[in-house]
Amino acid sequence: MSATSSPQGRLVIRPEIEIEASDAGGIGDVARPLPLTERLMNNTVFRRVLVLVGLAVIWQLYAIWLDNPLLFPTFTETVRTFWEDLIGGVLIPRTVTSLRVLLIGYGIGLVLAVVITTLAVSSRIGTDLLSTLTAMFNPLPAIALLPLALIWFGLGVPSLVFVIVHSVLWAVSLNANSGFRSVSETLRMTGRNYGLNGVRYVVYILMPAAFPAILTGLKIGWAFAWRTLIAAELVFGASSRSGGLGWYIFEARAELLTSQVFAGLFTVILIGLFVESVIFRFIEARTVQRWGMQK
């Protein structure tokens, strides 16, 4: 029993009423087993594979409808040619040659980007230098530097490395500088309050806070470097009696082997998917996603 007062000021006695739940077994159950289709659709890898399968089906159907292997081979014919050249030992050395040149140019580009970005963050003159250089050279296509590369370095790996460095340097520098500039003043003051300065201040405060932008620059720089390399190899990719994937595509085009052209492009796409979906995703999972900076 409980007592309450009415608007007239009288004391009203009312009985307590307790209602027992007839079935409390389901109360509190917030999780339910998901059906297989829903679990699959929640999986990022499965969704991407589904997209790729859909594109392959469209490719196959269009090639069958066109019925012109010289113009557009089927997906199955392209995969067969790719497998034969892979097993036959043609694609592997070409791919290794391209990746070796790419890693050299990409590495040099990253080192130069670190130097320029460090100057830009540490001084106003460095900032003006980076802004001026990026305004001048970032809009300049790397492939437009091929004639100069041929004159300066001749036909070979140094020319390829030169155009790759150009394609990597400005994208990475701009994104890294933007990331450092966007670090909040609160984080900067926190680092100073803890007595951090110099390299420790950069490593523990600036780098983690700016890493999403830096990682974006690394991705953009990789994409620019990869397509610049293939384009450059299409023009003068044969060096030291060997060529890369771009030269493989060029030779197949010259001999009207369209399925080999598509096999070369297929290899380029597969490498791009691997780097983007495996290597960079692994870095994201171990850094920005782990730190709660990205979903």
- How far is the C-alpha of 249 from the C-alpha of 266, rounded, in Å? 11
Concatenated DSSP letters of 29-53: ----PPPHHHHHHT-HHHHHHHHHH
- Say if CB 182 and CB 164 are below 8 A apart: no
* Block residue for tokens 């100073």: 192
Strand partners, 239: 242
- Helices 146-153, 157-181: axis angle to 10 degrees equals 120
Give the pair of three-digit tokens for residue 245.
């994937």
pLDDT tens, per residue, the chain with 295 residues: 545 555 555 555 556 666 565 555 555 555 567 676 767 677 777 788 888 889 989 988 998 998 888 888 889 998 898 898 888 878 888 888 889 989 999 999 999 998 888 888 777 888 888 888 888 888 888 888 888 888 888 777 888 889 999 999 988 988 888 888 888 888 888 877 877 776 677 778 878 888 888 888 899 999 999 988 888 888 765 444 457 888 888 888 888 888 889 998 989 988 988 888 888 888 888 877 777 666 6
Give the pair of three-digit tokens for residue 36.
């297989």
Longest dimension (CA), the chain: 107
DSSP 8-class letter at 144? G
Residue 196 contacts by C-beta under 8 Å, 6 or more apart in sequence? 204, 205
**pTM score, whole prediction:** 0.77
Alpha helices in the chain (DSSP H): 36-41, 44-66, 75-87, 91-122, 124-137, 146-153, 157-181, 185-193, 198-201, 207-236, 245-254, 258-274, 281-286
Which is nearest to 221 in space by CA: 273, 181, 180, 166? 166
